[in-house]
Amino acid sequence: MHHADLHLHSRFSDGHLSPADLMHAAHAAGVTHLALTDHDTLDGLPDAEPAAQALGLCLLRGIELSTQWMKPRAKPLPNSKPISLHVVGLGLQNLAPMHAVLVQQQQTRADRAQAICQKLQKYCPQDPWPAALALADGRAEGITRAHLAEVLLQQGVVQRHQQAFDRFLGDGKPAHVPLQWMSLAAAIDAIRACGGVAVLAHPTRYGLSATHVRHLLAEFAQLGGQAVELPPANDPPSTRSMIDRLAEQHGLALSTASDFHGAHMPWLRLGHTPKLKDGQRHVLSLLGYAEFDV
């Protein structure tokens, strides 16, 4: 049996396992096809690839790009701001076009982490920057808001991961730093320039209304996006049927993915992926994996 989990994080972003350990954990969970998709970096691949090969796993080169998107409005509000969306690239062949766009993304990430830490200083008993940098193994360009949430937990400023977003890190909260990620179009173009497939990540986790999800999937497909992740199996059936319907309408294939990070995010479980319905096209079939053809 084939079992694909195509959205996974390692220590090269906000995951807790090394890429090699992640390959072992995925194998133990019965996964056969997988993708390492760290936030805005490809640096975990050299560690993941030999481990996957030794285990007989089919590993796709992947990434999760941070992008920004402006919600369409009948009348634009004077102070409307873009929201951040995630695009997963799968099956990257030639990595040069991706490395080229990552220079700016990584600079943005490192600068933002420092700016957030400055804002957090007045709430923390100790300077949060050294702890954040240590959690990201000294790679400032690897620091995500999830790491900053861990620092707030460690220092006792919050009691739960989610509280860190609700009180400090979320949009409009005191330590939020507005920033410029690449556009949705630029992310799709970079992924396709590498020979990969662009997948809209977790479309139901952006807090968008059904109307905005509809606009987003239409625009994503129109810009050259080729697939969308299915919502997790424990999402309401109405959410799932909305994505099923929109994928069909826009000719998008479907990706099965857990977005596993590690034991610190126990609600995202390795290998726990939703199932396709009859007749739906799996994204791996677009990438030439005949075992996933309908």
Q: Identify the DSSP state of 165.
A: I
How many residues contact ligand AMP, by CB under 6 A? 9
12 binds, among ligand AMP, Mn ion, none (CB under 5 to 8 A by kind): none
Minimum CB separation of residue 55 from Mn ion in Å reads 22
Q: Show the tokens assigned to 210.
A: 């059904």
> Segment contacting Mn ion (CB under 5 A): 23-31, 53-61, 62-70, 227-235?
62-70
Q: Which C-beta is closer to Mn ion: that of 109 or that of 281?
A: 109
Footprint of ligand AMP on 8-37 (CB under 6 A): 14
Residues written for the chain:
294
Quote the least distance from Cβ 165 to ligand AMP, whole Å.
4
Binds Mn ion by CB under 5 A, chosen from 14, 40, 141, 244: 14
170 binds ligand AMP (CB under 6 A): yes
Selection from Mn ion, ligand AMP, none that 145 binds (CB < 5 to 8 A by kind) is ligand AMP
- The DSSP-derived string for 43-112 is TTHHHHHHHHHHHT-EEEEEEEEEEEEPPP-SS--TT---EEEEEEEES----HHHHHHHHHHHHHHHHH
Spatial CB neighbours of 148, under 8 Å, sequence gap ≥ 6 = 113, 116, 117, 120, 128, 132, 164, 169, 175
144 binds ligand AMP (CB under 6 A): yes
Contacting residue, 10, 37, 41, 66, with ligand AMP by CB under 6 A: 66
As beta bridge partners, residue 227 has 199, 253
Burial label, 188 (beta-carbon count in 10 A; 0-12, 13-18, 19+): buried
CB nearer to Mn ion: give 188 or 201.
201
Neighbours of 240 (CB within 10 A): 17
In angstroms, give the least distance from the CB of 78 to ligand AMP.
25
Applying CB under 6 A, does 94 fall inside the site for ligand AMP?
no
Tell me how far CA of residue 99 lies from CA of 6, 31, 33, 109, in angstroms: 21, 28, 24, 15
Tokens 């390492």 belong to which residue? 36
**Residues forming a β-bridge with 59:** 34
Shortest spacing between CB 152 and ligand AMP, in angstroms: 12
Nearer to ligand AMP, 57 or 98 (CB): 98
By CB under 6 A, name the binding residues for ligand AMP.
14, 39, 66, 144-146, 162, 165, 170
